[in-house]
Amino acid sequence: MKKNAEYMLEHAGLCRAADRLEPQMFDEYGVQRGLRDKNGNGVVAGLTNISRIESFKMEDGKKIPCEGKLWYRGYDCIELVNGFRGDHFGFEEVAYLLLFGKLPNRDELKHFNDILASSRTLPTNFTRDVIMKAPSSDIMNSLTRSVLTLASYDKNCSDTSIENVLRQCLGLIAVFPMLAVYGYHAYNHYSNDESMYIHRPQKKLSTAENLLMMLRPDKQYTELEAKVLDTALVLHMEHGGGNNSTFTTRVVTSSGSDTYSVVAAALSSLKGPKHGGANIKVVEMMRDIEAHVSDWTDEDAVRVYLNKILNKEAFDGKGLIYGMGHAVYSLSDPRAQVFKSFVEKLAVAKGRDKDFALYSMIERMAPEVISQKSRIYKGVSANVDFYSGFVYSMLEIPLELYTPIFAIARIVGWSAHRIEELINMDKIIRPAYKSVMQELEYVPLDQR
């Protein structure tokens, strides 16, 4: 083992030497790192009718950073959330909107709910044979494995007709909460020595209610908890074609691959800590700050610690303040604003006001600390992942399920983008890499 470790250490050095590209070469060859130009704008890779993000406004011919806005199929996502709040659950209505491009009437919504309810079943023994095998705290990996295994139960797996892809997408949207929650219970049982519960979903319940019901040993939840989770799901459902997991969906779809493989690839992208995996990292980072700063109200002490995080001297050594910053948003992410609007009340009700005060302080302070270290083109603000984990913790949802909850919502956006790609593109996505390689002559093995 030690020999192996030494080998890896030495050969990682070889990788670093062989793969090093001087930073100025990107400028020299006009290559846009991260497919973003010098001002942070993404390279345009496609057209979409599914959603729109606004983070800048034109004023006197100049691009000015503005408060963020997000539309789903023409509707402001804040108006959507306000529209169903108090009346009915929104996840299913917005899923219909994103997939079919229009808001459903009552009959259409009922029919759609019935289709989802009847699709909430897994193949015989799937839970025992797949989900309970080799359980891990990484529920995103467990989900991905389940999705890929479901492919072998689908006789029409590779058919990319829209009718078939729609059937597959609705099936996955319906079973994602079961795959995630059962995956968690299996892990909690085998790794944490806890009891295991496999509660079946109930036909009359919404996605948010089913999720909480299946998660809790006693199946109990309050209306408020289900509504908060439902709002969180709606806010995570869609975010344009360029976010890392949706672009992955587009790229893999463009090669002609099947729905299960595409969704597995999207899940693998989403779990990254710079993307959806940030919601777990935020909570871990906050715990780390709380453990290392004795007085959480001392702004100077918190600032010193944030600087240590940025300098890779604290927390996970990556130099990131999780939950802050965004590739597109400038002054604000509207989803974070919605979360913030109810997080304070929830925190007071749950006796977590001290934690809330620390979150607010970091939200205020982090942009300033980050801008002292990096060149900021457009502003840094709290993103959707900043408060979501805090909200889930107040709903007593375990940390391991935070990113899977993101996936339970985002699979709707992935589905809409897969369908849009299939209908319109029919061209494999294939960007270019400028090669800076030098040609060499082969040297026979015993002459090296």
Ligand X SMILES: CC(=O)SCCNC(=O)CCNC(=O)[C@H](O)C(C)(C)COP(=O)(O)OP(=O)(O)OC[C@H]1O[C@@H](n2cnc3c(N)ncnc32)[C@H](O)[C@@H]1OP(=O)(O)O
Ligand Y SMILES: O=C([O-])CC(=O)C(=O)O
CB of 323 to ligand Y, least distance (A): 11
Are 244 and 150 contacting, i.e. CB atoms less than 8 angstroms apart?
Answer: no
Give the per-residue SS3 of the chain.
CHHHHHHHHHHHHHHHHHHCCCHHHHHHCCCCHHHECCCCCECCCCCCCCEEEEEEEEECCEEEEEEEEEEECCEEHHHHHHHHCCCCCCHHHHHHHHHHCCCCCHHHHHHHHHHHHHCCCCCCCHHHHHHCCCCCCCHHHHHHHHHHHHHCCCCCCCCCCHHHHHHHHHHHHHHHHHHHHHHHHHHHHHHHCCCCCCCCCCCCCCHHHHHHHHHCCCCCCCHHHHHHHHHHHHHCCCCCCCCHHHHHHHHHHHCCCCHHHHHHHHHHHHCCCCCCCHHHHHHHHHHHHHHHCCCCCCHHHHHHHHHHHHCCCCCCCCCCCCCECCCCCCCCCHHHHHHHHHHHHHHHHCCCHHHHHHHHHHHHHHHHHHHHHCCCCCCCCECHHHHHHHHHHHCCCCHHHHHHHHHHHHHHHHHHHHHHHHHHCCCCCCCCCCCCCCCCCCCCHHHC
Q: Closer to ligand X by CB, 149 or 337: give it.
A: 337
**What is the chain's alpha carbon radius of gyration, rounded to the nearest angstrom?**
23
- Among 188, 172, 328, 319, which Cα is nearest to 260's? 172
* Options 169, 267, 321, 408; binder of ligand X; rule CB under 6 A: 321
Q: Closer to ligand X by CB, 226 or 384: give it.
A: 384
Q: 385 catalytic, yes or no?
A: yes
Q: Closer to ligand X by CB, 132 or 370: give it.
A: 370
Residue 409 interacts with ligand X (CB under 6 A): yes or no: no
Residue 276 interacts with ligand X (CB under 6 A): yes or no: yes
Backbone angles phi, psi at 256, to 5 degrees: 90, 10
375 binds, among ligand Y, ligand X, none (CB under 5 to 8 A by kind): ligand X
Residue 380 interacts with ligand X (CB under 6 A): yes or no: yes
Q: Closer to ligand X by CB, 234 or 321: give it.
A: 321
Nearest residue relative to ligand Y (C-beta): 243
Q: From the candidates 185, 239, 275, 326, give the one annotated as an active-site residue.
A: 326
* Ranges within 321-350 binding ligand Y (CB under 6 A): 326-328
Residue 322 interacts with ligand X (CB under 6 A): yes or no: yes
Q: Closer to ligand Y by CB, 185 or 275: give it.
A: 275
Number of residues that bind ligand X (CB under 6 A): 23
Q: Closer to ligand Y by CB, 90 or 276: give it.
A: 276
CB of 335 to ligand X, least distance (A): 9
* Options 146, 206, 231, 243; binder of ligand Y; rule CB under 6 A: 243
Q: What string marks each residue from 16 to 55 as x (binds ligand Y by CB under 6 A) or -?
A: ----------------------------------------
Q: 326 catalytic, yes or no?
A: yes
CB of 347 to ligand Y, least distance (A): 23
Q: Closer to ligand Y by CB, 93 or 333: give it.
A: 333
376 binds, among ligand Y, ligand X, none (CB under 5 to 8 A by kind): ligand X
Q: Closer to ligand Y by CB, 170 or 336: give it.
A: 336
Nearest residue relative to ligand X (C-beta): 325
* Ranges within 22-61 binding ligand X (CB under 6 A): 40
227 binds, among ligand Y, ligand X, none (CB under 5 to 8 A by kind): none
* Options 384, 395, 407, 412; binder of ligand Y; rule CB under 6 A: 384
Q: Which amino acid is at 200?
A: R
96 half-sphere exposure, CB direction, 13 A CA radius: 20
CA–CA separation, 315 and 325 (whole Å): 18
Are 288 and 407 contacting, i.e. CB atoms less than 8 angstroms apart?
Answer: no
CB of 336 to ligand Y, least distance (A): 10
Q: From the candidates 230, 333, 355, 385, give the one annotated as an active-site residue.
A: 385
Residue 306 interacts with ligand X (CB under 6 A): yes or no: no
CB of 384 to ligand Y, least distance (A): 6
* Options 385, 400, 420, 421; binder of ligand X; rule CB under 6 A: 385
* Options 145, 227, 239, 418; binder of ligand Y; rule CB under 6 A: 239
* Options 48, 55, 269, 383; binder of ligand X; rule CB under 6 A: 383
Are 297 and 305 contacting, i.e. CB atoms less than 8 angstroms apart?
Answer: no
Q: Which amino acid is at 120?
A: R
CB of 366 to ligand X, least distance (A): 7
Residues labelled catalytic: 326, 385
Tell me which residues touch ligand Y (CB under 6 A): 239-240, 243, 326-328, 383-384
